[in-house]
């Protein structure tokens, strides 16, 4: 069977944070109207449950959002470093080919100089 439990992705984390704040708003509304409530024990239980779930939703979603953001930044930095290393490798290859071309040109010049000296 597939693992049905998945970590929330970046798309759902903001919605989960909003849902957490909504639960805390419901708690605020219940506390504000506490005097007018008939069954205070039942609503006290709802206040406790909504408070715990609201705070847990906000904290876990915010931490997950930050972890995903940091992981994304780290992977981008790694890609930038790889590109920089590839660029350095290409520059070194160009320098090496440039030195080889220069050396070939020097050898050709020397052989031409020798040919001229031999003709004289």
CB atoms inside a 10 Å sphere around CB 12:
15
Query: Where are the chain's structural domains?
Result: 13-95
Q: At what angle do helices 13-32 and 40-119 cross, to 10 degrees?
A: 160
pTM summary value: 0.56
Which DSSP string do the residues of 71-91 spell out, in sequence order? HHHHHHHHHHHHHHHHHHHHH
Q: Which two tokens stand for residue 45?
A: 């239980």
Residue 41, SS3?
helix
**pLDDT attached to residue 5:** 60
User: Tens of pLDDT along the chain (120 residues)?
Assistant: 455 566 556 688 999 999 999 999 999 999 999 888 889 999 999 999 999 999 999 999 999 999 988 888 888 777 767 776 666 666 665 655 555 556 656 666 666 666 666 666
Return all residues near 64 (Cβ < 8 A) that are at least 6 apart. 7, 8, 13
Q: Are residues 27 and 49 in contact, defined by beta-carbon separation less than 8 angstroms?
A: no
């Amino acid at each position: 069977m597939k693992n049905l439990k998945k970590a929330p992705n970046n798309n759902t984390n903001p919605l989960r944070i909003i849902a957490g704040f909504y639960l805390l708003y419901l708690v605020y509304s219940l506390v504000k109207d506490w005097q007018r409530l008939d069954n205070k024990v039942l609503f006290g239980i709802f206040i406790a449950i909504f408070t715990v779930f609201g705070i847990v939703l906000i904290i876990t979603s915010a931490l997950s959002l930050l972890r995903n953001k940091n992981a994304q930044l780290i992977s981008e930095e790694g890609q930038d470093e790889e590109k920089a290393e590839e660029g350095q490798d290409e520059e070194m290859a160009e320098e090496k080919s440039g030195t080889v071309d220069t050396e070939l040109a020097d050898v050709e010049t020397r052989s031409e100089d020798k040919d001229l000296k031999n003709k004289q």
